[in-house]
Amino acid sequence: MAYLRFIVAWLCLLTAFPVAQTAPDLKPRPRYGDPGYVGRRITFRCDGCSLSDVIQGILAKAGIRFEFPEAGLWQRVSDTVAVTDEPWNEALDKVLNRHELQATWSEVGRLVIARRMTPVAAGPGKLGQLLTGLPPVPPAVATLSQSSRAIEAERFFKEGLGYFRLANPDDSRVALARFGWATRIFDEIEYAGREASALYMLGASFLDLGQPGRAREAFAFARDFGRNAGNQRASLLSEASLAYLDLLDGQPDAAASAAKSGFDFVRSATARTKLSGRSLMDRELDALLITLAGRMFFRLGDLEAACQAFEMGFDAYLALDDGARGAIENAVWLQQAALRSGRAADAERAIRAGRSLLSAARSSRLQIAFLAWMGVVCGEAGDLDKAVELQREALDALRQSPDRTLETGLQWNLARTQAALRKYAEARRSYEAVLRLSEEGDDSFWRNQAQEALSRLP
């Protein structure tokens, strides 16, 4: 018996050595996501395919089992991939990074594709001071059920778009309130996708009213909420707007990439679905995005790309109901880009198109607003003298009209342009006119704006 125990012990000791020697070979092999991982090489090409097809194609080539729970949501987002004998993980990383997606391993060993979450402040007051000073949601709406408040938020958002399209500061004030209400409600019911769109339009209204600081804050929130909720349009548009504000501040680093991303996104979207195949909101955001891409190309000196973008923007707005504001904006930018390119005939055609839209406006009030808006866009494009001329023309037309409700906003536009021209005495007179006009009502917004602007004049 003792001899048997000796034999067993000797055999155990003998077999221990190979186990110890081969233990390092039993470590799990690195997999996707581990430092230094290099995947098998693949050759794969997919031109203008849906994003979900691109991702599934790469992973099928790699032989990886995966899950893409929200693949259907990305069917209408297109991408192009062309790789030849390259590691599959590198191709996948590029696609995921472009669309703010991430891949993580599940407990059962499948690669799960999901939206990359961007940290957003949580808890009450997560929007900080952004909505400070805006009117609260009407009490009658605040007491409704969650589903009814969501319906009201949609209504407020659409009303805001309607006022925003009227292209003058007085109506942008009303749009600002509507977008503020929509943002508050979407935030309360945690509807982040729609909140991203409302926040973007809130920022656009702040920018219309000469408040770039608050616009920047709204765009940053819209970008983060858009990423978290998969609202790619709102996210791209917000990133592009932030890049444009940086460009205006002399920081052009992100502008070229943002302009190209916006241009490529809209071109892909229209190529895949045409204008009639997208929702009204998608078409609105695409029109805004392509116009913004053109403005960045213009300021970066890429006039050919700018002209292409403005032509696309003009067509996109013409296809929208009440899209005259955006179409006129694109016509003016197109004229300015053509003039700088030495294409006088194209410039003349562009401005004639803008003027024809102005003349076709359904009321004299709207014609005056569009005329002044044409001046605002000329000023942004750098033709400040023409901007002043158009705004004075709008004021002269207003004085012959019985409806003087636009006068405060028109004086505000004129004052800002005069200040940009460094005609400070004239700007002071225009700001003082805003003060006089605002004294007649209880709303202190224009008084505060004019007083702040006067304090900044030399």
Q: Which range of residues forms the domain containing residue 53?
A: 41-115
Which residues lie across from 105 on neighbouring strands?
111
How high is the pLDDT of residue 232? 82
How high is the pLDDT of residue 117? 59
| 241 or 17, which is more confident | 241
How high is the pLDDT of residue 366? 93
The amino acid sitting at 53 is D
Q: Is 120 exposed, middle or buried (0-12, 13-18, 19+ CB in 10 A)?
A: middle
7-24 average pLDDT score: 46
Structure confidence at residue 277 as a pLDDT band (50, 70, 90): low
**Is residue 404 one of the residues assigned to a domain?**
yes
CATH code of residue 66: 3.55.50.10
Q: E strands, 51-168, where?
A: 66-67, 78-87, 101-105, 111-115
Neighbours of 441 (CB within 10 A): 11
Q: How many domains in the chain?
A: 2
**Is residue 74 one of the residues assigned to a domain?**
yes
Looking from the CA of 193 toward its CB, the CA atoms found within 13 Å total 10
Structure confidence at residue 122 as a pLDDT band (50, 70, 90): very low
| 227 or 436, which is more confident | 436
* Chain length of the chain: 458
Alpha helices in 37-122 (DSSP H): 51-62, 88-98
Residue-wise pLDDT for 65-113, tens only, equals: 888 877 877 777 788 888 899 999 999 998 888 887 888 887 667 888 8
Whether the per-residue pLDDT at 322 is higher than 80: the answer is yes
- CA–CA dist 332, 353 (Å, integer): 9
CATH code of residue 373: 1.25.40.10
> Of 91, 115, 139, which residue sits at a domain end?
115
**Is residue 51 one of the residues assigned to a domain?**
yes
- CA–CA dist 267, 252 (Å, integer): 23
Its pTM stands at 0.75
Q: How far is CA 169 from each of CA 320, 327, 405, 406, 419, rounded to the nearest angstrom?
A: 22, 18, 11, 8, 17
Helix (H, G, I), strand (E, B) or coil at 78: strand
Q: Is 431 exposed, middle or buried (0-12, 13-18, 19+ CB in 10 A)?
A: buried
What DSSP designation does 436 have? Answer: H
> Of 86, 115, 144, which residue sits at a domain end?
115
**Is residue 451 one of the residues assigned to a domain?**
yes
**Is residue 88 one of the residues assigned to a domain?**
yes
Least reliable range by pLDDT among 72-76, 93-97, 245-249, 343-347: 72-76
Q: Is the C-alpha dihedral spanning 51, 57, 59, 65 positive or negative? A: positive
Nearest Cα to 142, choosing from 128, 125, 156, 121? 156
**Is residue 131 one of the residues assigned to a domain?**
no
| 439 or 223, which is more confident | 223
How high is the pLDDT of residue 176? 96
**Is residue 29 one of the residues assigned to a domain?**
no
Whether the per-residue pLDDT at 24 is higher than 70: the answer is no
Residue-wise pLDDT for 175-190, tens only, equals: 999 999 999 999 888 8
Whether the per-residue pLDDT at 2 is higher than 60: the answer is no
The phi, psi pair for 276, rounded to 5°, reads -75, -10
- CA–CA dist 50, 54 (Å, integer): 6
Sheet holding 101-105, edge to edge: 66-67, 111-115, 101-105
**Is residue 409 one of the residues assigned to a domain?**
yes
Whether the per-residue pLDDT at 273 is higher than 70: the answer is no
How high is the pLDDT of residue 189? 86
CA 333 to chain centre: 19
- CA–CA dist 82, 100 (Å, integer): 20
| Residues contacting residue 405 through CB under 8 Å, at least 6 positions apart | 170, 365
Q: What percent of the chain has pLDDT over 70?
A: 89
* Cβ–Cβ under 8 Å, residues 39 and 89: yes
The phi, psi pair for 72, rounded to 5°, reads -60, -30
> Of 51, 84, 115, which residue sits at a domain end?
115
Whether the per-residue pLDDT at 234 is higher than 80: the answer is yes
Q: What percent of the chain has pLDDT over 90?
A: 59
Q: Which two tokens stand for residue 34?
A: 């581990």
